């Protein structure tokens, strides 16, 4: 034994290592399942590869799931618990939206930049727009029938859902990932991970207002927004954490750790909770105590690679998309959020 090192020192070093390892293991255990309980598992036969975004028709209990790696959009009847139709021949579908006024489905294709409108009853294509490349995230404001699509090397296109024509485009410094829109002011905040900024945009006048540099976490993709408290909730990947910003100033409020590979974040106004889903195989639930105070109340296991999800506030349900993995078929998990 080297001089100066006692058996007691070695014992405490080993004990410390065990405590750290135990803490890490404990951190990966599920807790808070009483707040988020699994209600239903729907098989997605024939779906392979990566799954991207989801949309829902709440009136008819239908979910539209963009199966990017499968080049399809799956139409899932929740009441029947099965896939009832598949839109085929797409090119890396990423964003999807249901348009209730026209009973249409809007799909943004990342592979070729084509955005397609389909009749939700007949499943027939009714129109298509070419944004050039990498049509990705989609957000729809029903009040003014405007569809917002992040695309290309740096742009958000605004499309009239009625006329199915492009209204305008706002240019950015890189490809926009998650973005949110204030429905009253039309102010837009967008994560641009390639430039490590949150872009602040004027949707009314189609122009950029500001860009807030994000030093940590890196890899900021999903985003949610509380208009009541003027808070942005951003899922970062390096390190895995939930970044909370003042939406008016960009001031950092807090940055607690969260599930790895975060891909969707939602803020539920009624419960004042933030939901984060990630490829690390968990959904994290944070309770907003005050505008500047947040407590994690749940860390619920889903499945490995289950990054994408959709919060449906009308039902108090979270839909989590699970890709096929190690012989297990793709699935849609339906969780209920409880008080």
**Segment-wise mean pLDDT, segments of 10 residues, the chain, 339 residues:** 38 34 50 97 96 98 98 98 98 98 98 98 98 96 96 97 96 96 97 98 96 98 98 98 98 98 98 98 98 97 97 98 94 97
In this structure, how many other beta carbons lie within 10 angstroms of the beta carbon of residue 300? 24
Which residues does 274 contact at the CB level (< 8 Å), separation at least 6?
A: 224, 233, 242, 265, 266, 267, 268, 285, 286, 288, 294
**Nearest CA among 175, 173, 167 for reference residue 206:** 167
Tokens of residue 44, six digits: 């997605």
Q: What is the pLDDT of residue 29?
A: 87
Please, is 49 exposed, middle or buried when counting C-beta atoms within 10 Å of its C-beta (0-12, 13-18, 19+)? middle
Tell the CATH superfamily of the 35-47+217-339 domain: YVTN repeat-like/Quinoprotein amine dehydrogenase (2.130.10.10)
Q: Are strands 146-151 and 155-160 parallel, antiparallel or unpaired?
A: antiparallel
Tokens of residue 288, six digits: 């907003």
Q: Are strands 187-192 and 317-322 parallel, antiparallel or unpaired?
A: unpaired
In this structure, how many other beta carbons lie within 10 angstroms of the beta carbon of residue 121? 9
Task: Name the percent of the chain in helix, strand, coil, to the closest 5.
Answer: 5, 50, 40
Q: What is the pLDDT of residue 68?
A: 98
Tokens of residue 102, six digits: 């026209």
Q: Show the beta-strand stretches assigned E in 78-173.
A: 82-87, 93-99, 104-109, 114-119, 125-130, 138-141, 146-151, 155-160, 165-171
CB half-sphere exposure, 229, CA atoms < 13 A = 22
Range(s) of the chain covered by CATH 2.130.10.10: 35-47+217-339, 51-213
Q: What CATH number is given for 51-213 in this structure?
A: 2.130.10.10
């Amino acid at each position: 034994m080297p001089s100066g090192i006692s058996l007691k020192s070695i014992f405490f070093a080993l004990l410390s290592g065990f405590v750290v390892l135990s803490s890490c293991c404990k951190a990966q255990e599920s807790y808070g399942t009483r707040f988020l309980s699994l209600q239903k598992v729907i098989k997605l036969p024939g779906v392979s590869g990566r799954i991207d975004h989801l949309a829902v028709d709440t009136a008819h209990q239908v979910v539209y799931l963009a199966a990017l790696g499968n080049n399809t959009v799956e139409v899932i009847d929740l009441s029947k618990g099965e896939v009832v139709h598949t839109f085929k021949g797409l090119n890396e579908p990423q964003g999807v939206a249901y348009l209730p006024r026209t009973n249409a489905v809007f799909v943004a294709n990342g592979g070729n930049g084509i955005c397609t409108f389909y009749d939700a009853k007949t499943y027939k294509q009714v129109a298509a727009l070419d944004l050039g490349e990498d049509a990705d995230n989609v957000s729809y404001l029903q009040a003014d029938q405007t569809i917002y699509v992040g695309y290309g090397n740096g742009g958000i296109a605004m499309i009239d859902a009625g006329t199915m024509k492009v209204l305008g485009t706002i240019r950015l410094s890189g490809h926009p990932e998650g973005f949110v829109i204030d429905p009253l002011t039309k102010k837009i905040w967008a994560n641009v991970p390639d430039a490590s900024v949150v872009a602040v945009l004027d949707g009314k006048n189609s122009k950029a207002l500001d860009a807030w540099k994000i030093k940590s976490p890196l890899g900021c993709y999903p985003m949610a927004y509380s208009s009541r408290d003027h808070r942005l909730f951003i899922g970062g990947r390096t390190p895995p954490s939930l970044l909370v910003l003042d939406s008016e100033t960009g001031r950092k409020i807090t940055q607690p750790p969260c599930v790895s590979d975060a891909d969707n974040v939602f803020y539920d106004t009624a419960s004042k909770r933030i939901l984060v889903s990630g490829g690390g195989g968990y959904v994290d639930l944070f309770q907003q105590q005050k505008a500047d105070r947040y407590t994690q109340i749940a860390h619920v296991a889903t499945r490995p690679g289950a990054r994408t999800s959709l919060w449906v506030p009308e039902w108090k349900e979270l839909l989590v998309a699970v890709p096929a993995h190690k012989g297990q078929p793709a699935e849609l998990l339906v969780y209920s959020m409880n008080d």
